[in-house]
Structure 1
Amino acid sequence: MVILGVVASAIKEEIAALNVEDAAPGMTALALSLARAVDASPKNPAAKAVAARELRAVMRELRALAPVETKGDAVDDVAEQREKRLEAARKRAAGQ
């Protein structure tokens, strides 16, 4: 079992939430490697800054590759509420 630092742990969680591991396995591995480098560089601020800058760039690209969520926006909420109202009206009209 590999113990991850704070940055690596957060990046791993974000990558899982983005659901991009299958689409860009190399970039996800690079992001985790860079995150580990940020965690492992407490005594070398220059190395930490370089790794952090590259990590931001890789994560920006991974976020752009993430599939767009289609459920949960305001339009979906309005459509769901409308459907509930229509169903209730149908039941009232049918005498239920």
Structure 2
Amino acid sequence: FLALYRFATPADKLQLVLGAVFAGVNGAIFPCMALVFGTAINAFAQADSGVDRDAVNRAALYYFLIAVALFATDCLAYILFCNSAERQMKAL
């Protein structure tokens, strides 16, 4: 398995490690959407006083921030993996 990386320079290996870290962070952030969804549902389920608009707005903001974080980590992982693969193919 490690023979696949015999043409990788230390910079390529660093990019692979960073890409894996960003991919892991992306996977760890994704379940947070379920937590935010739960708080949004609870805000709509207020039987006595109607909808808690502050909680809904807060949930919408959290959804936006999670989306930005997912986009950034996914793009960085993709760029790092592709750049490392391209550099290794040029070394062949």
**Shorter-chain TM-score tier:** 0.3 to 0.5
User: Scaled by the length of structure 1, what TM-score is found?
Assistant: 0.38
Q: Normalising by structure 2, report the TM-score.
A: 0.39
Q: Which has the higher helix share?
A: 2
| Bigger CA radius of gyration | 1
Using CA pairs under 8 Å that are at least 6 residues apart, name the structure with larger relative contact order, 1 or 2: 2
